[in-house]
Homo-oligomer: A and B are copies of this chain.
Amino acid sequence: MPIAHASHAELLVSDIERSREFFTETFGLFVSDETDDQVYLRAWQDFDHHSLVLTRAPESGVAHISWRVEGPEDLNAFERKLKALGVDTWWVAGGTELGHGDALRFVSPSAGIPFELFWEVDRYVERDPAMQSKLPSHPQRFLGRGVSPRRFDHFNFLIDDVQTEQEWVSEHLGIRHNYYLAGQEELRLASWLAKTNLSHEIAFMRNRGQTGSHLHHVGYFLDAPDQLLRGATILMDAGYKIEWGPAAHGTSGANFLYVFEPSGHRVEVWTGGFLLFAPDHEPIRWDPETAPLGLEMWGSPMPETYLTYGTPLTPEIPAPTA
């Protein structure tokens, strides 16, 4: 099981200037690198070069989601394994995306999720003396500016067939199934998975409209429930639309809010909840009676858009060589 952890996402954004402003001024991420068409972002305690890439594009979408593997041998091993499964893979040379080495890419066969795996990575080093922390454990000074999450947390997708995707990802990528919502006649409504001790690093939720795969959101982690409420007030007063929350997932126990950034991607900021340590953890089942509490446990009503709206998956798949 050589995947180590979820690392970052590349989001295509239709309005890169306003998305950049949202993520830096209000959401509280930091720019670690920038080109004419890309902004590389990280939370204040993300240790690697970036956890989010914004790429200028005519339409918003998701270019890839990226995972770090456990060691230098794992990329080739994954290439062989995927080929054996009949999954096309291709390489993106190190430095094409700044901050990490050669990357193996593929799309998952059922839901078409654009995965990337890599090993070599640049740890973030703060070069601006005014932004260096007094603490060796802080890759940069803590400013508390904006919502100010501590670190990247997870990805979530709205797809048509949750169970098939979950089973493929668990079996072939070794990402453990942690909890799920079971609908009538065992129709799988949602599944959450992780390789680390986090409650989840990737989730799949059933697209109510059955309109194919979309990004539901990327999630960042904040230190405390009170900071989530403070963040909600900052977002409201800056004019951004909170779709849902602050409220609480019964599944993980985490407190959350969802907000739309200016290019249309949904972003979650969340805090708290459980970690899972048992090596033989059995996925926790939420049946049709308890599922509503699983999604939200205090009684905050789910907005209609929550299970219907997402942003498209737009992997840049190379043309087959003749």
Tell which of A81-89, A101-109, A249-257 binds the partner: A249-257
- B250–A135 CB distance below 8 A: yes
A125 on interface, CB distance cutoff 8 Å: no
User: What number of A residues sit within 8 Å (CB to CB) of B?
Assistant: 73
Contact partners of A69 in chain B: CB under 8 A: 279
Q: Which of A150, A245, A279 lies at the interface centre, i.e. has the most chain B CB atoms within 10 A of its CB?
A: A279
Given contacts A134-B290, A137-B251, contact A230 B144 (CB under 8 A): yes
A158 on interface, CB distance cutoff 8 Å: no
Bound Cα distance A133, B135 (Å): 36
- A237–B141 CB distance below 8 A: yes
- A238–B197 CB distance below 8 A: no
Contact partners of A94 in chain B: CB under 8 A: none
Task: List which A259-301 residues lie within 8 A (CB) of chain B.
Answer: 272, 274-275, 277-279, 284-286, 290, 293-294, 297-301
Bound Cα distance A174, B208 (Å): 45
A44, closest chain B residue (CB): B237
- A142–B233 CB distance below 8 A: yes
- Would you list 16 pairs from A and B whose C-beta atoms are within 8 A, ordered by A residue? A4-B279, A5-B279, A68-B279, A134-B290, A144-B145, A144-B230, A144-B231, A197-B197, A224-B224, A232-B298, A233-B248, A233-B297, A233-B298, A244-B299, A246-B246, A246-B298
Q: Which A residues are closer than 8 A to B by beta carbons?
A: 4-5, 45, 47-48, 68-71, 133-138, 141-146, 150-151, 179, 196-198, 223-227, 229-234, 236-239, 241-248, 250-253, 255, 257, 272, 274-275, 277-279, 284-286, 290, 293-294, 297-301
